[in-house]
Copies of this chain bind each other. A is one copy, B any other.
Amino acid sequence: MAEKNPFFQSKEVKEFTKKIEQYHLGPLWEAIPDLMHKEPRPEAVPYLWKGETIRKLLLEATQIFTPERGGERRAIYLQNPGLKQRQPWGWASTTNTLYAAVQLILPGETAPSHRHTQNAMRFITDGKGAYSIVQGERLFMEEGDFLITPGGLWHGHSHPGEGPMFWMDCLDIPFIYATGGTFFEPYPDGIEPPSLPDDYSARKYRGGMVRPIGDRKPQVAPLGLYKWKQTEAALEGLSDFEPDPYDGIAVEYINPSNGQTANPNIGAWMQKLPVGYHSKAHRHTYSAIYHVFKGEGYTVINGIRFNWTKGDYFVIPNWAWHEHVNTSKEDALLFCANDLPIMEKLRLQREEAYPNNNGYQSVVGEFEAEVVRS
């Protein structure tokens, strides 16, 4: 069914097709080849954005987008070139199901609270001192921290501290959009005021695999803030062991009330690639967005080499072959956000090891990143 039947190009068929379309009816035989591929053919393509470019543009945006002029969040999102035509108004997400952006907040600024059916996460890449307030709990953020706001929770941001703060946002906007299930509600009056002790959940859960006994019932987000210090300790604990052949040493953020991913639809983990690490290649149904948190190296995606360095973002579309290489003299750290929970929930997850060449792809080209011209 992958190839079109030449008969379907005949005049007779075309006329019949035209006829039935008057009645808002379509011929299945015409549509099937576009819809039923042998394997995933996502419109999203592999791509890499330079962190430096995004950073410069965001700083430039501070001159234009001031809080007085409105606009709730000062964020620039990553448009996958393959997805530009997907929605009628030219909007493009980062992978088929996920949207990613980089947000900048300056000291003294506030992003008012709202809630929506989309699930959201934040990974803090630069700065400290701002907080997110989630359901009345202020969560103070610093580099390396991971935060979640699953669908339905009130959240806003404010920066009472010093210096600019940048973070990565990731939401399942395109996925929820596709279902037709979007609901959005602004908080009645600016930013929600605190109603819980600061960093309440992070402090409650800082002991690892023990849980306050008041939190025994499954909840959507018993823990909102995953501190970098703990993620670092986890990676350290694993460092003597053999790294995974595909993902190095990797730890995933989990919901302590059910052992599932921290966010219902967005998986997230931190991967450490030890010095000299060169993974084998594989592919999987889920798509992934990477942020380079430390070090430099490259990732080969479908035969093309994508060089990366601290601050960059890159995309691995569904079912694309990929392998990671650390070329630094130190461990590299890659933060990964992905739609694995969606694929698991829908029984779509599959994975394959690259079958040739001892598990390594042949590199047939190199991606040239676009750097800001200024």
Contact = CB atoms under 8 A, between A and B. Distances in A.
Interface residues of A, number: 150
A304 interface: no
B212 A209 contact: no
A264 B69 contact: no
Chain copies in complex: 4
B252 A218 contact: no
A212 B238 contact: yes
Interface string A278-321: 00000001010000000000000000000000000000011100
Interface centre among A20, A39, A41, A114, by most B CB within 10 Å?
A20
A235 B252 contact: no
Interface stretch (A75-83, A126-134, A156-164, A356-364): A75-83
A109 to B, nearest CB: 14
Given A49-B25, A207-B234, A16 B64 contact: yes
A339 interface: yes
Nearest to A22: B370
A264 B208 CA distance: 19
A28 B73 contact: yes
15 contacts: A2-B184, A16-B60, A26-B92, A44-B180, A151-B348, A176-B348, A179-B346, A207-B231, A208-B208, A210-B230, A210-B253, A212-B238, A213-B244, A214-B244, A216-B252
Interface of A: 1-2, 5, 7-8, 12-13, 16, 19-29, 31-32, 34-42, 44, 47, 49, 53-54, 57, 60-61, 64-65, 69-81, 85-89, 91-92, 95-97, 101, 103, 114, 116-118, 151-152, 173-186, 197, 200, 202-214, 216, 218, 220, 223, 226-227, 230-238, 240-241, 244, 247, 250-260, 262, 264-265, 269-270, 285, 287, 317-319, 339, 342-343, 345-348, 350, 370, 372
Given A26-B76, A207-B208, 13 more contacts: A25-B49, A25-B57, A26-B92, A37-B184, A86-B88, A97-B178, A179-B346, A180-B318, A197-B240, A203-B241, A204-B241, A209-B223, A213-B269
